[in-house]
Structure 1
Amino acid sequence: MKYTWRWFGPVDKVTVRDALQAGAHGIVSALHHVPTGAAWTVEGIRQRQDEILSGGLTWDVVESIPVSEEIKTQSGDWRAHVANWQESLRRLSQCGIRTVCYNFMPVLDWTRTDLRWETRHQARAMRFDLPDFVAFDLHILKRPGAAGDYPEPLQAEAERRFRAMSDTRIAELGRNIGAGLPGSADGYTLDQLLEKLRSYQGIDAARLCANLVDFLSQVVPVAEEVGVNICAHPDDPPWPLLGLPRILSTRADYAHMLGQVESRANGMTLCSGSLGAHPGNDLPQITRDFADRIHFVHLRNVTREAETAPCSFYEDEHLEGGTDMVEVIAALLDEERRRRAEGREDHLIPIRPDHGQEILDDLTRGAQPGYPAIGRLKGLAELRGIERALSHPRLGACA
């Protein structure tokens, strides 16, 4: 495995050298300052590469080239945005970067009600609290028609929660849920969020899925031509939010997407945390089923508070939670061995310890929520320990 580390650029309070010392082999980054829909320039890519090289590592994975709302809804300048996405792939390839992660979540990227929730051992973790989220939808955002999306008992609990909320908590919920992509300056006020939701009127899951396939039919041939693998990140959390469809939440969703555009360049970002929030997803089996099309991996764990979807959950320690991380890593090592036997250049799969709890000095560093230094170092050390043990000759050599 090639262990990577997400870095948000020079503004990141966790440095590339921190990642190097933590044991990372490469960096996952993006040009967060480039407006969504615009093409990345070679000069901008090379500048980011130089910034990473100065810290002792290389830029191995792009996460992400954002897919604009215009592309997802096929409105406005969406064709120009697709052309710019294609051009960004060409320029990344020209600079030697061959793996690009993206997502197709409408309006909201990963969504949490709490960014620094206190765990049982007084660490800080991200959390999705379902009643609080429903309270936001019904009583803070006041989305038209929202009540029809929730059962009566959940609505009653959400109302009780809302009535007990302070003004500070109400404002915090709005900020947390309306936040944009990690590392970006994007975000929505309540009025802006409602306007974005209105732009999806008439777009159901089938229509959004068709738009994804249309997008892939245009960008995958370019990816093949320039030797880049693109890989779709799952929905987070993996169920509809705020009346919006979500189309990459389950094994069946990925089987459809990958089957519609049959190309190795059209792949999957296996995120064990995003998929693991859905009780119907068997992560070791999903890893085996789609192993040939997995180009990038996020390893993290969540603890669900109910075996239903949707449900409340929080970001647990990497070896805790509902996903059997040993089985997932064993399946990935099997796939790497198979790729080596085929002589594939991409036999080493880039993975990163995704998210992490804030512990020790993280609690005062003020890094990007979910991306602390020591919490990720701990997760990376645990994941590397599993790989080393599974690869040892005494256990029958997965490597």
Structure 2
Amino acid sequence: MDTMPLTVDSLTAVKSQVEAHGLTLSVVEGGPPMDKIVTGSEGREEQLEQYKQCIRIMGQVGVPVLCYNFMNWACRVGRTSYEAPARGNALTSTFDMSQWDDTPVAAELQCEPARLWENYTWFIKRIIPVCEEANVYLALHPDDPPVPRLRGVARIFNTLDAFDRMVEIEPSVRNGITYDLSLFALMGADAPREIVKRRRYIHFVHFRDVVGERTRYTETFHDEGMTDKVAAMRALQEIGFQGPMRPDHVPLMAGEEGHATGDKAKGYFSGKASGYTMQGRLYACGVLRGLIMATKGN
């Protein structure tokens, strides 16, 4: 969705469209703007009220999961190329800190880690009671890339300890996570162990992979990468995970057009290997279905 439906009618219309194709709308990604909440700026109270409205609407319509992130909007998802070569003449994305333009953003857009933790605590303590009333689960996505600072902008959700601290601040099961295989791997997680450890809080899964380390990595096809995806899927089966899961980012197949260029690229530098093109997604879905079938047993 390009914009978050902020009325019951608008979200119901989206849900009906999805259900007309035999599918279920079980998660909303993104949610309303929260840049002022993240930085603790003037206007955060208004954004909080809009967020509460969104949660209540999701509860009324029956959409149970909201995936969001707590990255400063001055510098969010970072890549240094969307045209890195992959197998079969496909293109994929990379992040290399040594090639990244790390020119600091304006000082007024920056916010230090201690303040970010204060702002997160302020937000989560006010939004979780609304989630509990509405029967909606939050699913916090890690920082991407999982580095502590980009362009002078601090980021706080890029270590395993940070996700432990998140639960210490607010232990409600409504305060959950989006388990992104690639980003948790870059943070040093052993996927099966981490999935079992965080079983109570995993409400959404991004099943993608990378090769490299947190300051230099390349996104891969779903049958490649550094994560033992069979073991990860077995762990999800073991904990009885029944929530939504998607392939997330995929390579751009040879001969396939980039799904967005120019203004429509929405932050993707080249508009080529944006991560969301159709052929790569279909291939990834096939890999995921195979993993599910192979690990489900009877």
**TM norm structure 1:** 0.67
Partner of 1:268: 177
The answer to whether the 8 Å contact 1:67/1:102 transfers is: no
Partner of 2:69: 103
CA distance in 2, matches of 1:129, 1:74: 30
Letter in 1 for 2:293: R
Gapped runs of 5+ residues in structure 2? Answer: 266-273
Partner of 2:277: 372
Query: Which residue among 215, 223, 231 is the counterpart of 2:131?
Result: 223
Query: Which residue among 110, 122, 126 is the counterpart of 1:214?
Result: 122
CA distance in 1, matches of 2:31, 2:217: 28
After superposition, what is the alpha-carbon deviation per residue over 1:253-298, rounded to whole angstroms, capped at 9, x for unaligned? 10100121011111011011222233x2333222111011100000
The answer to whether the 8 Å contact 1:268/1:296 transfers is: yes
The change in CA–CA distance for 1:391 and 1:56 in structure 2 (over 3 A counts) is closer
CA distance in 2, matches of 1:82, 1:365: 35
Question: SS of 1:303's equivalent?
Answer: strand
Partner of 2:109: 199
- Where do 1:77-96 residues align within 5 Å? 77-96=43-62
Q: What is the CA-CA distance between 1:365 and the residue it aligns to? A: 5.5
Letter in 2 for 1:262: P
The answer to whether the 8 Å contact 2:88/2:254 transfers is: no
- Where do 1:13-24 residues align within 5 Å? none
CA RMSD of aligned residues (A): 1.9
Is 1:349 the counterpart of 2:243? The answer is yes
Question: SS of 1:247's equivalent?
Answer: coil
Question: SS of 2:89's equivalent?
Answer: coil
Partner of 1:125: 92
Query: Which residue among 362, 383, 386 is the counterpart of 2:291?
Result: 386
CA distance in 2, matches of 1:250, 1:315: 19
Partner of 1:324: 228
Partner of 1:115: 82
Q: What is the CA-CA distance between 1:199 and the residue it aligns to? A: 2.3
Partner of 2:205: 297
Gapped runs of 5+ residues in structure 1? Answer: 1-29, 144-193, 337-346, 394-399
The change in CA–CA distance for 1:130 and 1:219 in structure 2 (over 3 A counts) is same
Counting aligned pairs with the same residue, the percent is 31
Q: Which has the larger radius of gyration?
A: 1
Letter in 2 for 1:322: M
Letter in 2 for 1:352: R
The answer to whether the 8 Å contact 1:67/1:104 transfers is: no
Partner of 2:269: none
Query: Which residue among 44, 52, 70 is the counterpart of 2:10?
Result: 44
After superposition, what is the alpha-carbon deviation per residue over 1:308-335, rounded to whole angstroms, capped at 9, x for unaligned? x4x2111111131111111111111111
CA distance in 1, matches of 2:83, 2:191: 26
Q: What is the CA-CA distance between 1:198 and the residue it aligns to? A: 2.7
Partner of 2:268: none
The answer to whether the 8 Å contact 2:252/2:258 transfers is: no
After superposition, what is the alpha-carbon deviation per residue over 1:344-374, rounded to whole angstroms, capped at 9, x for unaligned? xxx512111111111255x225357101112
**TM norm structure 2:** 0.89
